[in-house]
Structure 1
Amino acid sequence: MRKKLFLIALLIGLVVFLSGCTEIEEPITSESEGIWNTYFVYPLSWLIIYFANLFDENFGLSIILVTIIIRTVLLPLNIKQLKSSKAMQDIQPELKELQQKYSSKDANTQQKLQQETMALFQKHGVNPLAGCLPIFIQMPILLAFYHAIMRTDEIDGHSFLWFPLDEKDMILPFIAGITTWLQQKLMMAGSPGADNPQMKVMLYMMPIMIVVFAFILPAALPLYWIIGNLFMIAQTIFIRKPMMKDTNTGGDKK
């Protein structure tokens, strides 16, 4: 778990380094320099403009379509991550038995626990770090899309439904917060560690943070978060829940 958190922290640091925090206010164009701008942000900005032009400069609809496209492209990675989570959940009873068997904190016992744990992983073909790979690939793409929305000047002056995309909105932040909470709630249901106090704190802290940021940022960003949340909610209902249900059924039969 510590290794996974370290890898995620390392990835976040790398993405922040590549993206350059000072560039968030600079418009993105075909002449923008740097690996981050050229290969990540500008292609997504171009895609937003392309779809907007197809629909009579409807940038709101374009953001929705590009969000769905990105989430669909990333879906195989999400499924891989879910399968890794399922495999870890399957071996939890055996893992707990090992932890009870080698509960002593002396160095020799802890070394034996690590050896037996690795043998258990190999026996079931489980890689505890496999769930990190999808995160490594997804985070730069999602952050690049965030940059593309913020830095595409063509979005300015356009509206969608009742709100201007380049101005703050008073309703979208609450929808973004509610969908974030619902998405996390569904993801946590039936997961190992769902009763962990830290997980419960995150269940409420993340939506609150989203609401706060959504009040500060232009409405195009909350729109992006809402569509992304709705996609993840659908994914959880139609893919994750049946997968975890099979796991729990299998566990009951044992």
Structure 2
Amino acid sequence: MLYALRYFGERKKKILTGLSLIGLMAFLTACSNQPITSSSTGFWDRYIVYNFSLLIVWLSKVFGGNYGVGIIIFTFLINVIIAPLRIWQSKMMNKQLELQPEIDALKKKYPGTDTASRQAIQEETQKIYSAHNVNPMAGCLPVLVQLPFMFALAQAIYRSPSLQQGTLLWMNLSKPDPFFVLPLLAAIFTFISSWLSFYSQPTMNGSNKVMLIVMPVFIFISAMGLASAISVYWVASNLFMVLQTLLFQNPFKIRKARQEKELKKKRLERELEKAKRGQGKYRHGKKKK
């Protein structure tokens, strides 16, 4: 199972991870509604959820006493912590794109759909990745790292009496946004974040196009039924990802650099072809003499 997952499409892995994230979060939110306090038992409740709620409350007091602002600051702190992982993930994805011609050559080398052919492609693909220090599972890691933070945030909101009374603008943070503004913003920033990550790629395949549309729609529908605090987390997190991408892995610069590299390569090929033709004419003229 793990071996097969390693070669699962990068975007499909992200779709499955995203769906799992939302489903598991909803499950954990529903599995317990007892208030979280310093007397709570169990490692998760006492040391994770309770301390997360304390941190959000403390941040809220520091930044004006608004719990919504506290959640936004909390989200930015979490994203700062995992930012190096995202940057590493982006570099791994760029390396995979550079190796894609070699992977495509393997598919031509083993065109069959039988188990032996697919196994051969997987084994040689792994050799190529290993030779270039590429981890094909890099796309899942940042999302998986966020899972416990999102679970803890959901539990802290639903089970902390103080946070349940929190508001942001017109919204009660423990209830869905009645006007669907936050779900819409969460979907929009999810789309922008995904589009930026795809823009730096040479081409966009079918699964990428599907993800570009499906994920924002899924986020919007899910956010309509979840606490506004979760939508605040999604909006702030995706906004941070957009800013991080533009600052550290700017897709416009990457795309421009790739186009310049391709133009330079084509120019060099034309010059070499021109030089070969010139040499051919010179030799032909010499023979006539």
Class of the TM-score when normalised by the shorter of the 2 chains: 0.7 to 0.9
RMSD: 3.3
Question: In the alignment, which residue of structure 2 is the partner of 1:161?
Answer: 169
Q: Which stretch of structure 1 is more off in the superposition, 240-249 or 203-212?
A: 240-249
> Shift of the alpha carbon at 1:88?
0.9
- Equivalence map 1:24-103=2 (5 Å): 24-103=32-111
Which segment is superposed worse, 129-138 or 223-232? 129-138
C-alpha deviation, 1:74, in angstroms = 0.8
The answer to whether structure 1 residue 184 and structure 2 residue 184 are counterparts is no
Shift of 1:109: 4.6
Could you say if the C-alpha distance between residues 113 and 229 of structure 1 is closer, same or farther in structure 2, counting changes exceeding 3 Å? closer
2:121 pairs, out of 110, 113, 122, with 113
Q: Distance in 1 between matches of 2:257 and 2:151?
A: 33
In 1, Cα distance between the equivalents of 2:203 and 2:151? 28
Structure-2 change in CA distance of 1:129 and 1:211 (3 Å) = closer
Give the 5 Å matches for 1:168-179. 168-169=176-177, 170=179, 171-179=181-189
The 2-side partners of 1:41 and 1:247 are apart by: 45
Q: Does structure 1 conserve the Cα–Cα contact (< 8 Å) formed by 2:29 and 2:151?
A: no
Larger radius of gyration between Structure 1 and Structure 2: 2
Query: 128-137 vs 68-77, which deviates more?
Result: 128-137
Structure 2: distance between partners of 1:132 and 1:222: 21
How far did 1:107 drift? Answer: 5.4
- 1:159–1:165 Cα contact (<8 Å) kept: yes
Q: Give how far 1:158 is off.
A: 3.2
Aligned-pair distance for 1:98?
1.8
User: Deviations for 1:133-177, whole angstroms, at most 9, x for unmatched residues?
Assistant: 433323222332232233322123333234333343312222222
| TM-score, normalised relative to structure 1 | 0.81
Which stretch of structure 1 is more off in the superposition, 63-72 or 126-135?
A: 126-135
Contact 1:102–1:112 (Cα < 8 Å) also in 2: yes
Structure 2 counterpart SS, 1:25: coil
Measure the CA separation in 2 of the matches of 1:94 and 1:225.
37
Letter matched to residue 226 of structure 1: V
Matched, 1:3 2:5: yes
Equivalence for 1:195: 205
Instruction: Please give the TM-score of this superposition, normalised by the length of structure 2.
Output: 0.72
Q: Secondary structure in 2 aligned to 1:129?
A: coil
How many angstroms apart in 2 are the aligned matches of 1:27 and 1:131? 35
Q: Distance in 1 between matches of 2:222 and 2:24?
A: 18
Any runs of at least 4 consecutive aligned residues in structure 1 with deviations exceeding 6 A, and if so which?
6-11
Q: Distance in 2 between matches of 1:74 and 1:185?
A: 20
Q: How far, CA to CA, are the matches of 2:28 and 2:227 in structure 1?
A: 20
Alignment check: 8 A CA contact 1:81 1:131 kept: yes
Paired position in structure 2 for 1:217: 226
Could you tell me how far 1:229 is from its partner in structure 2? 1.4
Question: Residue 86 of structure 1 contacts residue 244 of structure 1 at CA under 8 Å; is this kept in 2?
Answer: no
Identify the residue that residue 238 of structure 2 maps to in structure 1.
Answer: 229
Q: Which amino acid aligns with 2:258?
A: N
Give, in angstroms, the shift of residue 216 of structure 1: 2.3
Please give the alpha-carbon distance, in whole angstroms, between the structure 2 residues aligned to 1:142 and 1:47.
14
- Following superposition, the deviation at residue 118 of structure 1 comes to 2.8
1:223 Cα deviation after fit: 1.7
Q: In the aligned structure 2, how far is the partner of 1:112 from the partner of 1:167?
A: 52
Q: Distance in 2 between matches of 1:27 and 1:96?
A: 54
2:242 is matched by which residue type in structure 1?
I
Unaligned runs of 5+ in 1: none
What is residue 274 of structure 2 aligned with on the other side? Answer: none
| 1:24–1:150 Cα contact (<8 Å) kept | no
Change (3 A) 1:179 1:133: closer
Contact persistence 2:196–2:245 (CA under 8 A): yes
Of 228-237 and 179-188, the range deviating more from structure 2: 179-188
Structure 1 residues 227-236 or 126-135, which shifts more? 126-135
Structure 2 unaligned residues grouped into runs of 5+: 266-289
Letter in 1 for 2:61: N
